[in-house]
Chain A
Amino acid sequence: MANSDSSDDKKAAEETASDEIETTSDDLEDEFAAFEAEAKAAAAKAMGGMSGGAAAAASGAAADAADDIEDDEDEEDDFAAFEAAAKAAAAGAMANMGGGAAGSGAVEDSSPAQASAPAETPDDTAETEDEAEAETQGAAPVADDAKSAALAAAAGNLKQASEKLFGAAPGVKSQTILVVGGGIAGVTAALEAAETGYDVILLEKEAFLGGRVTRLNRYFPKMCHPTCGLEINYQRIKRNPRLKVITLAQVQDVSGSRGDYTVSVKTTPRYTTPACDGCGMCAGAVESEVPNPFNYGLDKAKTVRLSHEHAFPMAYVIDPSIIGTPEADKVKAACPKGAVDFEQKEEVFDLNIGAIIWATGWKPYNASKIEVYSYDKCDDIINNVEMERLANHDGPTAGKILRPSNGEEVKKVAMVQCAGSRDINHLAYCSMICCLASLKHATYVREQYPDAQIDIYYIDIRAHDKMSQFYARVKRDENINFIKSKPAHIKIGDDGRPVVCGERTIDRGLYENDYDLVVLATGMQPALAADFAPADLTRDEFGFVVPSKEGSEGQFSAGVAGGPFDVALSNQSATAAALKAIQAVRAGS
């Protein structure tokens, strides 16, 4: 699809790039001179011009100085114009603010750096001069010669080396990298590859990017908001024409091999066209609702909606259930741009791809499978991803943690660790994030309810490196109790409240504790196999992708597709995956 275009673009880009490189190498001597000697000379000149008094510098000398330093005639006008403007602004400020005294002076005096400057100045100046001496005189001309020779040699080799590093190698039919899954790992992998200069297509099966993390309230241990990092990433996407995002898209089939895969992609209709700019008039025309998938069905959302306030792309999506109803006509009529299109159908198309990164993420382990924990029997027994939505300002309760059964406040909350994980009947591995997530959830509750009591039932608290300090901080909270025990079962009390039952590991004491809310710390299960399982990708017994040992493969995993990772590790693996994919498409076959 996008390949014929992009290869042309690439060729053009490469030509430009090599032009630039040549220019650079030719101009090298000038550049170094500017770097080492001319800057000094220019500064000295400027210094001379300024000796009469700082602000009174003759504009001629200054322009010369600026010109010399930049070594670029074109800049002269800009600089002069800018300086004049800056001076005018500064003068204006002075006149208006200071009365007699210069405005800038007044500001300067009150500034913190100025206050510390006197102490710093003598030492620093000495240091700087010493250093300069060491660089230019002390270490003798030998060092300078050696350095210059090294610079010249490097520059001489630049073009060839650069082509080797950034150029397209022969034998690879497509250099486009496909990233499957638009959660944090997929977004990161796609951006890192695109910003290194490769064409990337990012597929996401939902109507928006961000996956699991965009549904989280905060990240442990910094307690910052996932949308903060996502926003930066979305800005990077918007600025990078090499990266193409296709939402509501899933892979159906993969054939071929490294450098020449044919990937069959199926898209489902959004029922709005790319002309949709998110004005929301369509949503204003409907009343019908469906369980809200963004909030894991904890509340309802309109059939025509922007999935959440931070949705990217910012475009509405229409639930097919309204097709054929009177509301469909209303929606169509409400859109001033004609961006509603009920004629859209499922589409299947092929992409020619050089390397594939599977960033298909995870799903929470189905808590219903742990029958003894009564997840299906009581609304006040929820899982950890639902807890994130309850605490989120954009969630079903506008961020207030309330009992799902009756909307009452919570006073006593239990977190049950390893709900599925570390259990050979469910998930044999440790899911890594759940301990930290529960510690984080405890702080959510404590922030909202100063008197609330929280019990955390655990086997081990696995808080690694920085997280151990977070754990220590949470442990200091007297309202948060850690109970070493894997609960045997959760029953429903006569009043409908959940009752956690079991035996404490330490003193063998039995307990039956009732709560307003029980949060099951369900583990992470790889989502890769759910829709489509690529044939030539090695996976372990749990379904995680095993990195290829060596050689010729062109498919890789990023994030939780490759193991139970937290966000930091997912991003780390996604960056690594971008490198592997680049290696795959630049190598000859």
Chain B
Amino acid sequence: MSDFEKKPGVYLCEGCGISEAIDMDELEEDVTGGFDFSVSHCRRAASFCTGEGMEQLKKDVAGGEVNQAIIAGCSPRVMTREFDEVGAQIIRANLREQVIWTQPAGTEDTLMFAKDNVRMAMAQAENSTPPTPHESTMVSCKLLVVGGGVTGLSAALEAAKTGAEVVLVEKSDHLGGWAAKWSKVSPHRPPYRGLQDNPVPGLIAEVEANDAITVKTDTIVTSTGGMPGKFTVKTTNAGGEDEWDVFGAIVVATGWRPYDTAKLEYLGFGKNDDIITDIEFEELAANGGIKRKSDGKAPEIAAFIITSDPDIMPYSSGVSSVVAIKQAQMLVDANPDAMAYVIYEELRAHGTTEDFYREAQEKGVIFQKGTVKSVGDDLAITVEDDLLGQEVSMTGLDMIVLTTGMVPNSTNPDIEASDKGNSQLKDDINPTASFAKPGLEVLTQNDDEGEPAQPGGPLLNLQYRQGPHIPVLANGFTDSHYICFPYETRRTGIYTCGPVRRAMTIGEAREDAQGAVLKAIQSMRASEESSAVHPRAGDLSFPKFGLDICTKCRRCTVECPFGAIDEDEQDYPILNPTRCRRCGTCMGACPVRTISFDNYSPVMVSEMIGAVEMPDEFEEKPRILVFACENDAYPALDMAGINRQQMNSMMRFIPVRCLGSVTLLWISTALEKGYDGVMLMGCKSGDDYQCHFVKGSAMATERMAKVGETLQSLMLEEERVKVEEVSIADSSRITGLLNDFGTEIEGIGLNPFKM
């Protein structure tokens, strides 16, 4: 907001023991006279969060005297909403958790720490404005649902029920997907014991009767551009006709495909007509009854093998167990004289499915724990029986049914593979791969090289700089922070549900669709308001690009974890604001520091770094700058304060949105200003990464690994800059970590650049 005329006021809180630990007169003197920064006024009160102090603050703001309130007191994590409601831009200087609770009271060092925190807050105020939201990009609040199976049908109906207009695209010529083939399904509602009717035909009828839902069968998505609130989507039908439409958000419910049966030859598949897959079993049951393919007779004795060879399938969906239990029940329901064996290594009958399992046992199904060693073409099975501890042979079987497992449809196998963006699928999509390796792929891998890991083309053919695919995590499933934030994908406004996200049953998929629809509608709401979605929900700031000094290095477009930035024909970055999650990774990536937010920028932090009063070399007071991830490391520091853990007085902290936003400029600024060391505290990287922006700390590590050369050129020791992975639960470790670094820096000696 260019018309934002800054009227900063400083509010020094004396409560919570601050005035007992810090000489407030000296602190005030530093604010009003010691530092080149003009403020409307500097006030002191016993507290500003309540009582007269708060009244004064409100009065100052309401009277137009102050529009930037710099509040020096408790951590920004406390009294957040109370201060936000005052209506000014709030800047907090953390004196309580960070200073008086970690430092001895009344010392000169403690006072210096407090002064510096207030100075940094003032520099922050001087170099930031309240964020001006981007112009709304909302054009459509229509929802696109891709996939017409049980998940997609449910998603379409749920969205329509919430008032949305829906287009449902299905690649085959009919709705229903795999689930439509099943004659009976496992129970999702009580009674949990027996088979239940398939809900899919009912869902299809409901969708077809719903005026708010347009169904397009024989159609695939061939291009998706734009951004949340304004996805421009091209669909192409079997006749080759294109159609353009605009959507506010997209739900991807492309489901699964059965695991490649060629890999089941070791279990006899292909040797005998009566060795069939679970899908063939369903087809038999739905088309004239369960009969042998060889002679059309109903099987008297059948075995259901739950395949769980980790070399073939690294994950074992609980679904296979449920399917085997279901089909064994189907067999004995159809013919009470029939015998059904279920051979399993691990039987995963979770939750109330236990009743379904119990019912099967009561119906006479025999469950045998063991590993199948071989299946002969005469339908003889050799099982290493875990219970007996020896091999047993099963003969006289009429039919063998192999469960096949579910492979997520993260690609469309019916269309040609793209030669672009395969790194998004690399390692992860291959079911035989071990753990996923997210993190560094775009930094270290060429996007376009290599064979596609899994046949098939992109589901949405995203017209994104980072490629056409939706990035996947382990085993090809399109998820991200699957424990805490199960619907988070790395493509804002695009939410996945059903078996493309995680192997699941019909009942689970129907509920999963509801969650994805909620997130899709929420993202449209955010687009309307130009605000960020999770995890910085409500944030109105967005990165701005100063193109005059842009060198077109494309680092911002490549490193954005969410593919928010494209390139124009001239290779200049173009932001798609509603794709952006506001983490600042682009800002950290930019070598010429020309990317900034209204309230978070290279200049702002550089000025904060410079605002610290640097003791000269004769004072022998080292200073260490710590960039702390505000999601994990910063709260851990607060908690160390809450636990009153004492910490070295040489540390100065700057919270960062993500370690990915840390630019090398800040490191060099700090060293040239005379800081003796710099530490970056971020979240865990690697397979089980915890970064909320996917790979911020991985990128910081990568960038800092190269900072050594710069340091060497300045004749500074590499050890002065360090990256540490810190979790939020490290409150008892973090002060030790900092104190050790302080000792290390003291050992190295003072920065020769000190004045």
Contact = CB atoms under 8 A, between A and B. Distances in A.
A83 B594 contact: yes
Contact of A24 (B74, B139, B574): B139
B508 to A, nearest CB: 8
Contact of A573 (B369, B503, B511, B603): B511
A472 B710 CA distance: 44
A151 B142 CA distance: 12
B569 A128 contact: yes
Contacts of A23: 136
A17 B603 CA distance: 34
Contact of B589 (A44, A113, A468): A113
Contact of B548 (A50, A195, A306): A50
B620 interface: no
Interface string B376-400: 0000000000111100000000000
B51 interface: yes
Nearest to B640: A309
A419 to B, nearest CB: 15
Interface in B134-173: 135-142, 158, 161-165
A563 interface: yes
Given A43-B570, A86-B596, A309-B639, A393 B729 contact: yes
A157 interface: yes
Interface string B694-708: 000000001101110
Interface in B310-347: 310, 314-318, 346-347
Contacts of A275: 47, 49-51
A579 B514 contact: yes
Interface string A73-90: 011111100110111011
Given A112-B703, A505-B387, A309 B642 contact: yes
Contacts of A74: 1-3, 132
B484 A229 contact: yes
Interface residues of B, number: 174
B668 A111 contact: no
A166 interface: yes
A463 B189 CA distance: 22
How would you classify the secondary structure of chain A's contact residues: helix, strand, loop or mixed?
helix
B446 interface: yes
B36 interface: no
Interface stretch (B25-33, B239-247, B256-264, B292-300): B239-247
Contacts of A46: 547-548, 550, 570, 572
Given A66-B547, A422-B354, A110 B710 contact: yes
Contacts, number: 502
Q: Contact residue range for chain A?
A: 35 or more
B47 A277 contact: yes
A470 to B, nearest CB: 10
B420 A127 contact: yes
Contact of B244 (A55, A82, A111, A147): A147
B662 to A, nearest CB: 13
A77 B387 contact: no
A116 B443 contact: yes
B318 A462 contact: yes
A564 B350 contact: yes
A147 B77 CA distance: 46
Given A62-B546, A103-B668, A219-B483, A277 B511 contact: no
A240 B538 contact: yes
Contact of B709 (A110, A117, A219, A240): A110
B731 interface: yes
A337 B315 contact: no
A586 B535 contact: no
Contacts of A164: 163-164
A-B complex: 6 closest residue pairs judged by Cβ atoms: A62-B548, A229-B484, A575-B515, A576-B514, A154-B246, A279-B16
26 contacts: A21-B136, A21-B528, A62-B546, A62-B547, A86-B549, A93-B669, A111-B706, A128-B571, A161-B141, A191-B537, A192-B519, A192-B522, A231-B632, A232-B534, A236-B538, A277-B16, A279-B15, A280-B642, A309-B731, A314-B78, A463-B348, A507-B389, A564-B350, A571-B484, A575-B486, A576-B515
Given A236-B534, A484-B369, A573-B511, 5 more contacts: A31-B135, A86-B546, A108-B591, A151-B230, A579-B158
